[in-house]
Structures are given as C-alpha cells and as structure tokens.
A and B are shown apart, each in its own frame.
Chain A
Amino acid sequence: MNWRPIAGIVLRQIYLMRGSPVRLFPMVTWVAIDIVLWGFITRYLNTVSGGGMDFVPTLLGGVLLWDFCTRIMQGVTTAFLEDVWSRNFLNLFASPLSISEYITGLVITSVVTSSIGVLIMLLLATGLFHLQFFSLGLPLLGFLTVLFVFGITLGIFASAIVLRLGPASEWLLWPLPALLSPFAAVFYPLSVLPHWMQWVAHALPPSYVFEGMRALLSGGSFPGMLLLQATLVAALELLLAAYFYGRVYRHAVRTGLLARYSAESAA
C-alpha cells in the first residue's frame, strides 16, 4: 500500500469540510440531541426508581457506545457516497488507487469525522449528566475497539451494497443501525430477547460488548471471555465484509457497472 493515495482520499474529505462547514452541523446536532434526550430520560428514571438504581451509566453509556459504532459506519459510508454523489468513480478507479488504499482512506476519514461527534457526546454526557465513562477502566478500550471494527465492517458492507445495487440503494443503508439495534441489546440484557433473536444477537459483536458493559457496571469481574468472543466475531465479519466488497468490485468491473455508474441504477 502506498500512503499518497490514502492521503488523497482523506484530504478530499478535509477539503469538503472546509468548503462546506455546514457538513459539521449534522455530526454535532444528532449526537447532542441523543445525549440530551437520553440524559433526561435517565434522570427521570433515576427519580422514579427512588434511587435504587443509577440508569446513567447503563443507558447513557449504551447510547454513547452505540452511537460511536454507528458514527464509524456512517463515516465510512458517507465518504464513499461522496464519490457516488459527485460521479467520481471513473476518475478514481482509472487511477493507480487500489481498493485496499481506497478502503483505508475511507476508514481514516471515518475515524476523523466520527471522533468529532464522539468527543461532543462525551463532553455533554460528562458535563450535563455526570457520566463517568472512563470508570469502566481498561475493558472500555477493548469494547471501543470491537465497536470500531464492527462500525467499519458495517460501513464496508453498506458501501458494497450501494456499489452493487446503484446510487438509489443508499436509502437502504441509513436505517441499518436502527434495524440492528434491537439485536445488539444496547439497553437490555440478551436474556430478555426471544430465543431466535438471541441467535441473531450472537452474530453481532456489539451484543457481547453491551453484555460485558452491564456485567462490569453491576460489579462483576472483567468479562474476558465476552471480549474475546466479540473480538473474534468482529474480526471474522470484517474479513467477510472486505471479501464481499472485493467480489462486488470485481463484478462491477466485469459487467461494466463501474464504468456506467453515474446512471441511477438501483434495482
């Protein structure tokens, strides 16, 4: 891999932000709304529960971690969609840029953009609602890594779907995190889910992360096994997503889809 083409993909996103600062607005607004909304809900729940349970770390911590994962996914997907919207595929893929360099550029772009949102969430959650996010200690690093990898996986998978089905299929992507969230068990233990939903949940690394987080918050020991399982599932799914993207790209080159991509072609 060559660093220059990767830097090009990242630089393009920086230029877009600089040229249109209004792009920062949704990155800041939605995360702020999420934290404020869930912050007040947790505050209310703390009041009605009579102080028996502190909902701030479980609910607000869950919101923050799940948002971190979805921001990473949206960061990858949005950077990819910039090329769809500007009909730039021919210019991009007729250059020496390799697929792995392109994906790496999208991932770095996503880290930069999602970090802004997560930082704002963290500041609001800590400042307004006294969330002690780092009280989870070292396992937090593991949880964040798993969610980061899964966010990238979703982003690569979603980009492959758009590449395969055409620009109009972007509307299938935005609800994807919401569709997965009931299975990810962000706000409740896996045991409350019906049996078939638990099976689906086991295929999603975030479900292990949130189970581990709740175990830690309820005074349990370091959830090493959950973290290991989550890491293995996340790594496997990342490899599968990269393989899927490669297949879709080769199909697009073989069928002429890549060359004709500027046309609206969602099936």
Chain B
Amino acid sequence: MTTSRTPIESDRPALRARHLRKMYGAVTAVDDISFTVNSGEIVGLLGPNGAGKTTTINMVLGVLAATSGRVEIDGIDIARQRARALARTNFAAVYAALPGNLTVAENLRFFGLLYGIAPLRRRVEQLLHEFDLLHLRHTKCGLLSSGEQTRAALAKALLNRPQLLLLDEPMASLDPSAAQTIRAKIKALAAQDHCGILWTSHNMNEVEAVCDRVLFLSHGKALLEGNPRTLPREHGSATLEDLFIRVAREPLAAGAANP
C-alpha cells in the first residue's frame, strides 16, 4: 500500500458517520447520530461514562456492526470495503494495549505488516525515534510503564500515516510533561499531514487546548456540537467542564437549551 495521500482524497472528510444507531435488544446505546471529521480537524467526542463514545468508536473501527446507519472513512464505506477503509485509519485506546509479550519494535513490525506498510523498517525506526522509544525497542511492552505503553500505542497508531486517527483517552496515563509533548505531536499531525482526529477525553482543559470542535453525547444521543472555546458561553456555562457536568446530569435540559 501507499502511505502518501492524493489531493482528491484529502478533500473528502476523513470520517462521515450518518444516522448511526446501535441497539442491544431493547437498549439503545447510540441513537441516530451523524457527524463528520474533516481532514486536518481534531474533533472531541465528549460525554459521561456510558454515553456511547466507545460504542461509536467501535462502529467506526468496524469491530461493532451498527444496527443502522453508515460509516465512511475517506469516502469509503466500511461495511462494503472494510480492508480499504481500515487501511486509512488507526487508533489508540487505553483499553487496547499492545501485546505485552512482544517487544516495542516487534509490535511495530507486526502491526506494520498487518497494515501493509512498506518500507517497514524505515517507518518503524522513524516512529521509535519520534516517540522516544529507541532505548525501549527491545523491551517487552508488558514491562513498560503506562506512559511508555501509551507512547508505544501511539507509535503503532501512526504506522500507516492514517487519514483518520481515533484516540480514546490517549493521555490518560501520561504525566503533564509527556502529555504536552504528545499533544503537540498530534496537533502537528493534524495540521501538517491533514489527518482527521476523533478524540475522546474526560479532561476538559485538554479538549479545549487540542480540539477544533466538540460533539457532546449523552444517553447515546448527540446533544451539542461546536467550538470548545465558545460553546460553554453559548449555553450559559462558565467553562467546558461546567457544560460537561450539566450535560451529564441533565442531558435533556441541556439539549433543550441548544439554540
């Protein structure tokens, strides 16, 4: 596969989700949400625990089938052309650590082959260097600190220079200094490589610092959408965190406040 992008491809949204719905029997986990992530844009997917964030991410990744609706990655329908769509995306999540019984370099080579990266050796070296993992290349991932594991998972997530990157609480285990460095890298990735990024986090300061746009979910519904720096004022809250708490506790009232 090629890891470069054509201008035509970058004109399409990195992700388009249309009328996504997921039901488990009578329980609705995600209820008819539609959103896009444009190339070069970082979109925060926010909401309390159980809001449907991870369910949405799993549907985008193709590991969970939507009850109805459609996911397109770079214009490719994941339900019809799964491998092509997934070759253009990648992800890192706190609950999906790299296999602990392989070393950092082995993991990167293993996943590099799964993503069809060529030339693989050069890309692995580049990522080991970028994420300050060169001295840990022969260390098994299970022996890494949680911050080092996060860096390794992020290195894996960038192996294929994805058009769409899904990050589920990527900074959860990083100290403030490491988190700042990684945030800068991810912002640069969006700005320079035009990668669209869908980011979930419970750290509202981080979301304000990183995201161009946020989407609030609660009880599986998309309630609010907008700029994280102006959205709180638009909805009568002092900060993004206040708005988050309001949405989490009174989702329908906050939804009603949406002009």
B93 cross-chain contacts in A, Cβ below 8 A: 90
Q: How far is the CB of B54 from chain A (nearest CB, A)?
A: 8
Q: Is A12 an interface residue (CB 8 A)?
A: yes
CB atoms of B110 and A96 under 8 A apart: no
CB atoms of A96 and B114 under 8 A apart: yes
CB atoms of A253 and B65 under 8 A apart: yes
Q: Are A96 and B116 CB-contacts (below 8 A) given A87-B97, A91-B98?
A: yes
Interface string of A87-105 (1 = CB under 8 A from B): 1111111111110000000
CB atoms of A8 and B111 under 8 A apart: yes
Q: Is A262 an interface residue (CB 8 A)?
A: yes
Residue of A nearest to B83 (CB): A96
B102 cross-chain contacts in A, Cβ below 8 A: 12, 15-16, 19
Interface string of B133-153 (1 = CB under 8 A from A): 000000010000000000000
Q: A interface, by DSSP: helix, strand, loop or mixed?
A: helix
Q: Is A86 an interface residue (CB 8 A)?
A: yes
Residue of A nearest to B153 (CB): A91
How many positions in chain A have a CB within 8 Å of any CB in the partner chain? 33
A20 cross-chain contacts in B, Cβ below 8 A: 101
71-93 of chain A: CB within 8 A of chain B: 82, 86-93
Q: How far is the CB of B233 from chain A (nearest CB, A)?
A: 37
Q: Is A59 an interface residue (CB 8 A)?
A: no
Q: Is A191 an interface residue (CB 8 A)?
A: no
| Complex: A143 Cα to B118 Cα, angstroms | 41
CB atoms of B100 and A94 under 8 A apart: no
B87 cross-chain contacts in A, Cβ below 8 A: 96
Residue of A nearest to B92 (CB): A91
Q: Are A4 and B63 CB-contacts (below 8 A) given A11-B110, A12-B110, A20-B101?
A: no
CB atoms of B100 and A86 under 8 A apart: yes
- Given A5-B113, A12-B102, A19-B106, 18 more A-B residue pairs with CB atoms under 8 Å apart are A8-B111, A8-B113, A11-B109, A11-B110, A12-B106, A15-B103, A19-B102, A19-B103, A19-B140, A86-B101, A90-B93, A93-B62, A93-B63, A94-B63, A94-B86, A95-B114, A97-B83, A98-B83
Q: What are 25 residue pairs bridging A and B, where the CB atoms are less than 8 Å apart in the complex?
A: A2-B83, A2-B116, A4-B116, A8-B112, A8-B113, A12-B110, A19-B101, A19-B140, A86-B101, A87-B96, A90-B93, A91-B156, A94-B89, A95-B86, A95-B111, A97-B114, A98-B82, A98-B83, A253-B64, A254-B65, A255-B24, A256-B55, A256-B64, A258-B64, A262-B95
